[in-house]
Structure 1
Amino acid sequence: MEHKQIIAKDVDTGLRLDKYLTEQLVPFSRSRIQMLFAKGAITVNGKLGKANYKVKNDDVIEVMIEDEQEANAQPEAMDLDIVYEDEDVIVINKPKGMVVHPSPGNEAHTLVNGLLYHCKDLSGINGVLRPGIVHRIDKDTSGLLVAAKNDRAHQLLAEQLKDKTMNRRYYALVHGVMPHDHGTIDAPIGRDEKDRQKMAVTAHNSKPAITHFQVIERFAQHTLLECRLETGRTHQIRVHLQYIKFPIVGDPKYGRRKTEMSGGQLLHAHQLTFVHPTSQASMTFEAPLPPQFASVLDELRKREG
């Protein structure tokens, strides 16, 4: 564990703490600094630091940095479900239970390890632990994501995420019977102040988050939804559906503690649309429901058939 102390000097009025630290902790990326905030590893004058805090001259900023396990992610042979691949991009159907990229405690057996073995080369924009990763899906969520093989492709795909032209659709089985055929959840998401491992709908230190949903099928006590992400906040669909009192079946973090269903977290990224960075063609990919998810739906239909 490394301890850094920075005493702010000659600070521009109104400079945010996250931006200030990006300048002070070269070559740390902004995403890594945000991770330090999320872990509560940054304090200002002895108090927990917030990313949007306005730095003042003579502030004492302390940063606790875990020892670098950021040894380069190692290539690892694994059976990847490759939906599409060319010299710029690779689209993967990720199984439930697979972590997307290495992190402390999950250094191996991640999607990145498998991609490095298969592709040999990936974009370097996100550093040595997240090469090629343009967007993520949670460990317990199955389905589609696209990775970039070079920096140019990565930048163009990231721009589509930013301007909301990359279309990502998910199937979610939720507790409760949704009364509306479709709707939009527009509620900002930020770190849960009571539990730093969770996200929550909150007005404090949050970012805008928008999820659109459409009812696909109703059951006696459950509803199958298709959700479309307009923004891409951490755990967004899971948090939003919990917020409106329709939590995802099997969600270990935001769902109900007791449930009779046995399919695990029933959230699946089934459709992905983006513009190819070189050909400029619009490309749409689909991934069928995984067997566990499909079997739960079949069981619900049999009960009510």
Structure 2
Amino acid sequence: MSKIISNKDNLQVIYEDNHIIVVNKRAGDIVQGDKTGDKPLSDVVKEYIAKKYKKPGNVYLGVVHRLDRPTTGIVLFSKTSKALPRLNKLFAEKKANKTYWALVKNQPPKNRDTLINWLKKNPKNNKSTAYKKEIENSKKAILHYEIIKQLDNYLLLEVNLETGRHHQIRSQLSSIGSPIKGDLKYGFDRSNKDGSISLHARKLEFIHPVKKEPISIIAPLPKDPVWDACL
């Protein structure tokens, strides 16, 4: 299990070498800058690198993938221009295995299943709707889920993605009547106090882009009584 090796300025670094850096994202952080103007996680990581290694001038950092703002967990960045295209290729070819944990209140129809939908994004409300058949401008979405723990009031699902679509896990779980805890946008009845949704990018497995060694990273769960009960 990965441990937090640095927690300065609320930045949780859980893996780092010469070519890559992996951060355990907090709820509310944005990975890249957007119209809100809020400081993105990428800038915080650049500042961390500049300070730690006493680097003058601009720090190189490549954004490999993103997480929704209210979601927590693993975000991988590239520290070198050599590693970035290789990581991009890994993700594009679906050779990086991403595992998520999600808390839901409503029992899914099956204890484990593969969900296949066609998602259509509505940019006006930044929401994706899951359809059972292909419609115009929709994209095929596939995920696998399994109930791995029964809590007092919630179920813990482990989710593995085959595709990476906009709000895919949120939309697809909502479509089977099991919206994620705190996710008002997709049908949960109340928000989490911190504005998060209980979706955590728990594990990432891939071959290192330079060392060619297998890497397996697990992100510690958020500090929360319900998440604590999952361990």
What TM-score bracket applies, with the shorter chain setting the length? 0.7 to 0.9
Q: What value does the CA root-mean-square deviation take over the aligned residues? A: 2.3
Cα shift at 1:262: 4.8
State the partner residue of 1:122.
60
Q: 1:86 aligns with which of 9, 13, 17?
A: 17
2:109–2:176 Cα contact (<8 Å) kept: no
User: Which residue is equivalent to 2:53?
Assistant: none
Q: Which one of the candidate residues 121, 139, 163 is aligned to 1:191?
A: 121
Q: Kindly indicate whether residue 101 of structure 2 is the aligned counterpart of residue 171 of structure 1.
A: yes
Instruction: Say whether 1:96 aligns with 2:27.
Output: yes
| Structure 1 or 2: more strand by fraction | 2
Secondary structure of 1:291's match? Answer: coil
Question: Secondary structure at 1:118's aligned position in 2?
Answer: helix
Query: Which whole-Å CA distance do the structure 1 matches of 2:107 and 2:227 have between them?
Result: 14
Given that 2:19 and 2:78 are in contact with CA atoms closer than 8 Å, whether structure 1 keeps it comes out as: yes
TM-score w.r.t. structure 2 length?
0.83
SS for the counterpart of 2:216 is: strand
C-alpha distance after superposition, 1:243-302 (max 9, x if no partner): 11110010132132337x65741111111111111111110011121112xx025679xx
Q: Please, which of 189, 202, 208 is the counterpart of residue 140 of structure 2?
A: 208
1:124-143 map, 5 Å:
132-143=62-73
Q: CA–CA distance in 2 between the matches of 1:140 and 1:298?
A: 19
The 1-side partners of 2:218 and 2:121 are apart by: 31
Deviates more, 1:149-158 or 1:262-271: 262-271
Q: Secondary structure, in 3 states, of the residue corresponding to 1:232?
A: coil
Q: Where do 1:1-305 residues align within 5 Å? A: 78-108=9-39, 110-120=40-50, 121-123=59-61, 132-192=62-122, 195-202=124-131, 203-219=135-151, 222-258=154-190, 262=193, 264-292=196-224, 295-297=225-227
- Number of aligned residue pairs: 212
SS in 2 for 1:214: strand
Q: Which protein shows a greater Rg?
A: 1
Higher relative contact order, structure no. (Cα contacts within 8 Å, ≥ 6 residues apart):
2
